Amino acid sequence: MDRVRRLALPGIVAAAAALGTAYVASVDPNQPGHYPLCPTYALAGIYCPGCGMLRATHDLAHLDVAGAFARNPLAVPMYLGIAWLFTRWVVARWRGEQLRWDPPTWLPWVLAVGFVAFTVARNLPGWTWLSPA
């Protein structure tokens, strides 16, 4: 019974993620008017690292991995990372342990520089293969 209680929070998180994914899978973000415009694109006219994420999620929910990569190349690696961390969290909760993860101090800097580089690259003229369109 104690393990069931420890897994309640991960279960709630998984259910919320499943409901959100089911909604995005059922309401096509490729059709205009279903979702609001990206605030970064609306205000600055540039594609941010998250632009195309709803369409990529929609594609992944329909098992279209190539389509997800086309919409946002960061989507698949990001979701794999989230799944890996979620799995580690569930296993730690199952065992009654705390999730311990001490990333290297350079990791946030590498991620930040990577996101900035990705933002610049996907907005370069002629680099339409990185745009979410």
List per-residue pLDDT tens for the chain, 133 residues long: 687 888 999 999 999 999 999 999 999 888 888 888 889 989 999 999 989 999 999 999 999 999 999 999 999 999 999 999 999 999 999 998 888 888 899 999 999 999 999 999 999 998 888 888 7
Model pTM score: 0.85
The three-point CA angle 131-37-125 to 5° equals 25
Length of the chain: 133
Q: Which residue has the tokens 């990577």?
A: 114
